[in-house]
Structure 1
């Protein structure tokens, strides 16, 4: 009995120590498998001395579609959405500087201006004179900045729950920031799951071993994320006064249950851009993950309308 008890303890200890590694392996293996199934290949291009990792479908003879993820995310948030564009577009999905496999360095500049400049350089490096650009959250801020300052490269922009303007009504995240707490900077699993539940109203299924691994990653990166957040979230760079100067067709999509950026911000974008806005009351901050097919259909229709006009 003593031997069996010791064996059980040894197995439990081995499982506990392998549990986080298995979660990380499962997360990355799942993303890599999805990318492969949907026809996306991993590549690297050097921009401003930073080796940017990106995924693409190799169809450089098609119109370019650039997908820009949000703060603390990676290319993985776009995969299920991007597959709906595979036949007709040269799909490009980068990991921004500070994110995913592109990595983080303390001395890099993570401002919206720098990230937008890198995305313009990425298109140039890939031989794309212009692209349809879709961005979520911080990625939407970058896409809008490109629409303002690189309008000749933007055939259209789609902004999904974008950052970049002052919200008329405070979101839960804004209230937390005003109280001195950034929900992206966390030190416990409890804080991670509070954050995770804020991000999506209809999250895709993920095993707990995977979300626990994500929690571990966020906690380990707390200081890096604080640096990136402080670099990009500068209110004096917000665009509400410049929205009318964005020189390309725009679409705004918003999940009304968004707890990170309040849906009232959609009115600011609509009035400034004079554009179509879709507000979906069953979704949160990441419609392209919560309802990828519906979101892809809306973006396709926007691009099609743009091409006809």
Structure 2
């Protein structure tokens, strides 16, 4: 397992658009490039359980988005999904990578949808060859935010960081994991540390605006999946109350001839709850296509 300090030591900070962004790569550069896009409110560390195995097959590229993890968390930023997507295209350009596969989770799914929308509209410098979505709000009408997320979105959102404690964070996190796969203490400790790094709690009410952006851009982002001519799969932990079984049902209804893979026992963080099973499911998807 990667401790947070080990994870940080094996990555590097680069400046993109005036901000310091934590980035990390691994694997053979001759292998296909796989971009890993994390969720809310965590960071690239979410992928640590899959990292070593995936790096045997792919050249891995990841980062902590603006406002997340070890990256800068400016209070005055707008935190637009399009700007988060730009971070990845900037990093890929620096690495001279123009062909990628994407593995995304939660908030990262929305960023992946934006990147896919650019490709569908022929407005992308990066060519995406496949996308794997893990639990995320691909369809706003099927997304069921937690009470704390609704509170963050409201006019009282500013009060949440002041009231948030590690105990409350742990309780909320545990509520979205599978009943038999609760977060280990090290997961809670690490995600809490990442959330607090660079005074991160105070930007949470701004970051949560992605839920509003999903509604505003619903047509563009949903159409991107429907009109995409590349292989796409949705891998889902069904016990997730936010975007679990109900999101899977919506996905299968809206996306024709779709690929899906579900895990009845897992929750919102399938790659953390059972990294081995999700890695295998991803590798199987890539073999099939």
| Counterpart in the other structure of 2:189 | 210
* Shift of residue 194, structure 1, vs aligned partner: 2.8
Q: Structure 1 residues 208 and 71 mapped into 2: Cα distance closer, same or farther (>3 Å)?
A: closer
Q: Which moved more, 1:265-274 or 1:105-114?
A: 265-274
- Relative to structure 2, which stretch is displaced further, 203-212 or 133-142? 203-212
| Cα displacement string for residues 92-111 of structure 1 (whole angstroms, at most 9, x for unaligned residues) | 12111111111211233322
- Three-state SS of the structure 2 residue aligned to 1:100 is coil
What residue number does 2:150 align with? 177
1:157 aligns with 2:135: no
Whether contact under 8 Å (1:144, 1:159) holds in the other structure is no
Unpaired segments ≥5 residues, structure 1 = 1-26
CA contact 2:132–2:233 (8 Å) conserved in 1: yes
TM-score, normalised with respect to structure 2: 0.82
CA contact (8 A) 1:256 1:279 kept: yes
Q: Does 1:139 align with 2:108?
A: yes
1-structure distance, mates of 2:20, 2:194: 26
Specify whether residues 273 and 121 from structure 1 end up closer, same or farther in structure 2 by C-alpha distance, changes over 3 A only: farther
CA contact (8 A) 1:147 1:246 kept: yes
Q: 2:227 aligns with which of 236, 245, 266?
A: 245
Q: CA deviation at 1:269?
A: 2.7
Matched, 1:74 2:43: yes
- C-alpha contact (below 8 Å) 2:113/2:222 kept by paired residues: no
Do the aligned partners of 2:38 and 2:104 also contact (CA within 8 Å) in 1?
A: yes
Moved more, 207-216 or 285-294: 207-216
Instruction: Tell me, yes or no, if the aligned pair for 1:165 and 1:265 is still in contact at 8 Å.
Output: yes
Matches for 1:1-309 after TM superposition, within 5 Å: 30-33=3-6, 35=7, 41-57=10-26, 59-150=28-119, 153-168=127-142, 171=144, 173=146, 177=150, 185-186=160-161, 187-189=163-165, 190-201=167-178, 202-206=181-185, 210=189, 214=193, 217=196, 221-231=200-210, 233-234=212-213, 235-238=215-218, 239-270=221-252, 271-272=254-255, 274-306=257-289
Provide the alpha-carbon RMSD of the alignment: 3.3
Deviations 1:44-68 (A, max 9, x none): 3332222321111152222111111
Give how far 1:216 is off.
8.3
**Aligned counterparts of 2:127 and 2:104: Cα–Cα separation in 1:** 15
Aligned length: 274
* Unaligned segments of structure 2, at least 5 residues: 121-125
Shift in Å, 1:141: 1.3
The structure whose RCO (Cα within 8 Å, separation 6+) is larger is: 2
What is the distance in 1 between the residues matched to 2:257 and 2:118?
18
Q: Cα distance 1:117–1:212, how it changes in 2: closer, same or farther (>3 A)?
A: closer
Q: 1:275 to 1:212 in 2, by over 3 A?
A: closer
* Native 8 Å contact 1:120 1:150 kept in 2: no
Q: Which has the larger Rg?
A: 1
